[in-house]
Structure 1
């Protein structure tokens, strides 16, 4: 065994297959995490020099008798998958990532990112992503634009009436879905979830029926979550 002594008996450690089953991910994914020392990383918000060996022992080890590569089950209590680590680290720092910040101030994510790029909105970088402080967001929201006009609120845009007809613009589709920003429609199109059609003027549109199907799907997911709560 290549780890220090553990309060969890070695025979109780998990193989990578058991970790994959417990986390509901592919074995190759867990193997990559083990190889990249993801299980050995400290929890989000903890300094890099904090090593959570005590009181559980090392996070990973190797024992040929038990099948080779192993993971201490206690390490899974604080494990955050790499795809979620940036968001978790930003949250641990008491800040918001771009989509959360945009919802907080009531604007679109592209508009928020443009303000950050231009230096109008302060931010820090945590785990490679922009992180915004709520106080800075409040200041930016209440500061007039260079023209002296108040900043356009995403809420006022969202509350505009959806125009009738079988075809919807991306903006109308966004309002009908109630998503956080208009860019969400573009992402749905890119992922093939929302087919694009063209109207008589050659403009990109989406079918109202497809958008309403996504609305029904979203409401069904929310109902399931509420039922489990």
Structure 2
């Protein structure tokens, strides 16, 4: 899957392409978001945001679930299922290749991606889709949007929609993801993370905490799994960004 810079997508549009006007007014959007919040309806809120920015379909992905494979990373979506299934591995792969610094810099910055050649979008829908990331607490999400072939999405409105999507998701106390998995770090894992940030090795941390080096490495592996990081440096960056140390 190829990622395109926003300006590249804009310049590559054919002459008939139009900058999309809002599907609904701001007043209608706020009213529908209020109704969705009152009924704890994440889908209704995302549908309103999608229509507001001029897109056709939405998919809300939670990044800390993408590393496990499968479709558990999909929080809420009205994308055609065959496209979601095809893109699931690609989304996980993109997440794995992204550094902590890149994750920080990409927040609220729309990016555009081309679907693989073997994916057939619905009739009239562009093969390019948009993704914009945001954080809700310590969890990282992406709102991924399909849009018509003849439409250019407004970056300003996409950033606005991402902020409102974060607000909408934060109101939903029981997001449709697995509830039996605990992503909060344990006290011992936080201790290990603190000492890593202090520049200590596994052997040194083992002496400090009075447990074996293998146990320390297990804790550190668990930290990286829960924080979706690949190295100790990325884990430290994640901890600093989220005020964990």
Please give the range of the TM-score, normalised by the shorter of the 2 chains: under 0.3
Structure showing greater radius of gyration is: 1
Structure with larger RCO (C-alpha < 8 A, sep 6+): 2
TM-score by length of 1: 0.23
